[in-house]
Amino acid sequence: MTSSHPPKRAFAEPSASTSTATVDVVAVQRRTVWVLIAGQILGGIGIGCTVSIGAVMAANISGSDALSGTATTLSTLGAAASAIPLARLAQRLGRRRALTTGALLAAMGSVVAIVAAWWSSFPLLLLAFAFLGVGTAVNLQARFAATDLASPQHRGRDLSLVVWFTTIGAVLGPNLIGPGEAIASTLQMPSLTGSFLIAVVAQLAAATVYLVALRPDPFLLSKSNAPEPASEAAPGAIHGRGPLVFAIGSIAISHAVMVSVMSMTPVHLINHGVTLTIIGLTISLHIAGMFALSPVFGWLSDRVGRVTTILIGQGLFAVSLPIVALGEDDPVLVTVGLVFLGLGWSAATVAGSALVADLATGAARPKIQGRTDLVMNLAGAAGGAASGVALVLIGYAGLAWAAGVLVLVVVAGSAVSRAGHQVSTESVPGKGGAVES
């Protein structure tokens, strides 16, 4: 369906002057990916600093441990609520302004959190968490920005590289709590607010990177200066609504599976007397599973196909969930299961996101990608909320088995999508796409 991507493509770049410059799109794409990576690292530090301490601050200010989960809930809802507005902004004004705006809103969230701590205002803290969630939406949109100028056979690779570098911020951020407390003490700020001050600096730095370095804007360049490759039809096209529903659904359901089991793991382990150090190690290894091998899954999605790689993710879930369920009393087995859980999420999310980028082209792409992130975050919020109830009613093992039902839904959906809409699992150079007309 798709012809192989030439080594170089020259695009005419609009400018304020009457002269027209030609742009080597391959070089622009390479630069774009590195700019997005830098933004991901800085934004990831900001998110890691705040999420890791947010639950503690919520409990301290509210005076109730039962309300500690509001930090994650409001952040997730903030990410969901901002997904479509940021996508519309990208559609109108480009990725550069959308990502910059989102990073600035996340920085404002950290400022509001500091004020909330100073005033001991729990409602204001909830507002802060909602704005902090915009930072997550920015990181999600950045992975799609990596596909705007990518050749079809390299979309999975470029997307996965941007995802992979999230690991640096996610790991480094929580380790800045100590230095943050030292900064807060020096500046005579309220306890726990030092991490939020670091997050302000990190998000402002991310906004600066996007604003200054993301030029030319990848989306505007792809939309204004040249048509999509011949195989991708007219700008704004959606290639197969059935496969698109499957792509978005597989991302959302896989996210719900991951969040539901992961979010209850610390509670389960604490109830079994496991130390906070071991719990921290378990979650760290889980996060490593989520991001460390994303380039591998990006390469697989380009080579063996998007749908096949999504099913590989479901296979990894099928390994993870029985280990978690049958080994619920053994912290080592739970940790192993959580690593496979992260790997399954990575495969499904990277391949599913690449499939969305394949199926929605031109002006339609940011809009569909915004809807994807909205559905993904709502599914995560629903999974996190339902998991607490499930833990009480059917236990940790029961929660894992119940999550397995969702895995079967994705597998069944892939079969229906392939049968009804001719979804191809072939994605090799020279074909590139995931849908056959």
What DSSP string describes 259-270? HHHHHHHHHHHH
Specify the CATH architecture of the domain 22-226: Up-down Bundle (1.20)
User: Tokens in use for 60?
Assistant: 């301290």
DSSP result, 400-436? HHHHHHHHHHHHHHHHHHHHHH-B-----TTT--SB-
How far is 419 from 34, CA to CA, in rounded Å? 39
Dihedral angle at the C-alpha atoms of 124, 129, 130, 131, nearest 10 degrees?
Answer: 90
In the prediction, which pLDDT does 165 show? 84
- The C-alpha angle with vertex 383 and arms to 73 and 370, in degrees rounded to 5, equals 70
Distance CA(426)–CA(308), nearest Å, equals 9
SS3 13: strand
pTM of the model: 0.75
Please tell me the predicted confidence (pLDDT) of residue 361.
75
What is the rounded CA–CA span in Å between residue 418 and residue 246?
10
Q: Count other Cβ atoms within 10 Å, centred on residue 185.
A: 11
* Domain ranges for the chain: 22-226, 232-437
Output the pLDDT for position 431: 40
22-226 and 232-437 in the same fold: yes
Low-confidence stretches of the chain (pLDDT < 50) are 1-21, 227-234, 421-437
Instruction: Please give the Cα distance from 433 to 437 (Å, whole number).
Output: 10
- Coil, strand or helix at 435: strand
68 SS3 class: coil
Topology of domain 232-437, per CATH?
Growth Hormone; Chain: A; (1.20.1250)
Q: What b/e sequence results for 83-111 when a residue is b if at least 16 CB atoms lie within 10 Å of its CB, and e otherwise?
A: bbbbbebbbeebbbbbbbbbbbbbbbbbb
pLDDT one-digit tens code per residue, 188-219 = 898 888 889 999 999 999 999 999 999 999 99
Q: Among residues 230, 330, 238, 341, which one has the least CA distance to residue 285?
A: 341
CB 427 within 8 A of CB 5: no
Q: Are the beta carbons of 72 and 51 closer than 8 angstroms?
A: yes
Q: Is there a contact between 384 and 259 (Cβ–Cβ < 8 Å)?
A: yes
Nearest to 257 by CA among 332, 335, 333, 340: 340
Q: Is residue 141 a contact partner of residue 108, using CB atoms and an 8 Å limit?
A: no
